[in-house]
Amino acid sequence: MIDGCRSSLRRSDTSDAQPINPIRNKPIMSNRLVALASLVAATALASGCVVEQPVRQRPVIVERPVQREYVEVVAPQPPPPIVVEQVQPRPGYVWARGYWRWDGRRYVAERGHWEPVRPGYHYVHPHWERRRDGWHMRVGVWVAG
């Protein structure tokens, strides 16, 4: 009988055993597990429920930046003399002469290149113009006429 008491105590004192529901013959969930499942379900349901209405409607104004036709480059000193390159004419193209480009510290030579002819337009070569505040670069452009 002593052995029978010990064995019955061992079965009831084990921490691994889960209580059994006598009706369904399945383990009963612990209170912690039920609380955790309830918290997860409540959080999932409440996460998308908030809809915030504005106090008053305000118009939305979108400002677009001003687009300039060109970038103004001003050099403090005059450019070096223009170097004229001798090129053979090429049908359907205009030779855009080379020019001196200001890089912020000094002039850098830019080579000439061929531009395809555009009917109804003439090509104005890149050049520098002197003004009160310094030397202004005018890039090569096609002009109507």
Please tell me the distance from the alpha carbon of residue 73 to that of residue 82, in angstroms, as a whole number: 18
Task: Compute the average pLDDT of residues 45-72.
Answer: 65
Residue 15 inside a domain? The answer is no
pLDDT computed for residue 115 by the predictor:
92
Mean pLDDT of the chain: 76
**What SS3 class is residue 142?**
strand
| 133 lies in some domain | yes
Residue 86 one-letter amino acid: Q
Q: Which residues contact 104 (CB under 8 A, 6 or more apart)?
A: none
Half-sphere exposure of 100 (CA within 13 A, CB side): 19
What is the total count of domains within the chain?
1
Q: What pLDDT was estimated at residue 94?
A: 93
Task: Scan for tokens 């170097």, then name that residue.
Answer: 83
Largest CA distance in the chain: 123
Question: Does residue 93 contact residue 117 with C-beta atoms inside 8 Å?
Answer: yes
Task: Please report which confidence band the pLDDT of residue 10 belongs to, taking 50, 70 and 90 as the band edges.
Answer: very low
Higher-confidence residue of 40 and 88: namely 88
91 part of a folded domain: yes
Domain assignment present for residue 51? The answer is no
More confident call, 114 vs 139: 114
**Domain hosting residue 107, numbered range:** 74-144
* In-domain check, residue 61: no
Residue scoring higher pLDDT (123 or 29)? 123
Interval 35-50: pLDDT, tens: 888 888 888 777 766 6
Per-residue pLDDT band for 133 (boundaries 50, 70, 90) equals confident
